[in-house]
Chain A
């Protein structure tokens, strides 16, 4: 493994980050599926040491591998327990990035990211909060299953430039609609964006009635919002 890491490190330096991540992905996915946290950690640490951009690490390794785990789960090729374990491992991989992530220069803008009530899939939301940090914003992540009352309290306290709501289960759309309605009543000027895996399974149409609400299909759209 150590000899492999050396080769990986060299390829990361010589071939550029994109190539190295593609190479690492094929090593990483089997380790993730096998629940080998230490193996995953070694690969991620090598990429960080090679100064691979955080966005590429998130999208090309973490997101892609979790999408693949999701696919395998949908096909009945991995169990729910294994999918949960892969999620837990990926979350612990994010913590390896934090020392680099939070040291980036700040631009003085803030975003709050939350998963609404009943929404227990928090990984996507947390990755969004981290990507927000890479743009110099402060990204505050509230976690899974956040009651609207808690969200309103935090909005009062932080007064963020942007609120991002993450939704993974399409059936939770009415809860998101209720949350946006209540937030709009209390903070009419609050800029809100909604995104997540839920929109793979159903249309975002019911949200279109909210003026100014931004429905984000991917990270590129989020980045456009951050830069606007």
Chain B
């Protein structure tokens, strides 16, 4: 060998020792690591020196029969090493016997890494294309929803006047004591009035929900006196409660003198909660309306003695048409929109709304408004 050849050999060995991504481990006869090249120490940690070979493997391979690995000389063996980075790494390992033990040479499976990179690129493409499709579909659905709300608003608006006329005419006949109506005719008119009343309330709720869903809920906040406001709403509902044989009771703690809120919309929320309490409570029971200040928030609770609501039903209760299984006790009807509207109104005020209930133990509907 010439000096030049020796120089080249030293340079190659130095490359293998310092730079090449090859793991080279020199083991003694007992499989203890006595030498490790630079890349092996980088990958497996400086502590690989002096450890037994099986201790360098991941836990799942710690009991591997190494004799079989050493005997396999034609095919590289895929072994997984526990690395200093904390991430395991698989290497293709070949074993070469030496006078004092063996040399183990491990390398990454470059073909596998290449395929993996290609697959990851494909997965990334697919994911980003799916994201695009999904976002486009969402936007299309949003446009359709807005169209639906516009249609709903227009239809409800156009239906309201004729139905209001039916309600007015039937009331005119029924309330005019001079008219001698046959009993069956009176009953038909009563049914007509009751149905048109329900339809008016349904249309009114549909108009509300379409306005809310189009993001057009506007609050006209004015200062109001909470105690006076609550008493007024409770009084207005008392007659309705009496007709159903229900007692309305109020318990108001010391309330602040002023609250900034939309009077009309807040009354809509409270009316809804109280009328629900009355509708779903048996005759002879009490619906309690409580108001107090908790953590600088006005908390109002409407507590009934009705059939209660299961946890499953509570989840959908504040969504449009999310009615529970219970039916009104006194023949009233329910549109299934009142709580959804109430939720939007309370949230627009910066408040929260919810329910506590257990089947058979009544229900407590509550909402809180910031002061």
Contact = CB atoms under 8 A, between A and B. Distances in A.
A95 B135 contact: yes
B124 A91 contact: yes
B125 A102 contact: no
A144 B125 contact: yes
Given A91-B125, A95-B128, A81 B136 contact: no
B128 A98 contact: no
B20 interface: no
A20 interface: no
Contacts of B243: none
B185 interface: no
B128 A84 contact: no
A73 B124 CA distance: 21
SS of B interface (majority): helix
B138 interface: yes
Interface in B91-137: 117, 121-122, 124-126, 128-129, 131-132, 135-136
Contacts of A101: 135
A92 B138 CA distance: 18
B139 interface: yes
A106 B138 CA distance: 14
Contacts of B125: 91, 122, 143-144
A126 B135 contact: no
A95 B132 contact: yes
Contacts of A87: 121
Contacts of A143: 125-126, 129
Contacts of B136: 98, 102, 138
Contacts of A122: 125, 129
Contacts of A106: 143
A169 interface: no
**Counting chain A CB atoms within 10 Å of each CB, which of B117, B126, B128, B136 scores highest?**
B128
Contacts of A103: 139, 142
Nearest to A138: B136
A102 B139 contact: yes
A139 B229 CA distance: 55
B269 to A, nearest CB: 32
Given A81-B117, A102-B138, A103-B139, A94 B124 contact: no
Interface string A84-99: 1001100110110011
Interface in A60-94: 81, 84, 87-88, 91-92, 94
30 contacts: A81-B117, A84-B117, A84-B121, A87-B121, A88-B121, A88-B124, A91-B124, A91-B128, A94-B132, A95-B128, A95-B131, A98-B131, A98-B132, A98-B135, A99-B135, A101-B135, A102-B136, A102-B138, A102-B139, A102-B140, A122-B125, A122-B129, A126-B128, A126-B129, A129-B132, A138-B136, A141-B129, A143-B125, A144-B122, A144-B125
Interface of A: 81, 84, 87-88, 91-92, 94-95, 98-99, 101-103, 106, 120, 122, 126, 129, 138, 141, 143-144
Given A88-B124, A122-B125, 13 more contacts: A84-B117, A87-B121, A95-B132, A98-B131, A98-B132, A98-B135, A99-B135, A102-B135, A102-B136, A106-B143, A126-B128, A138-B136, A141-B132
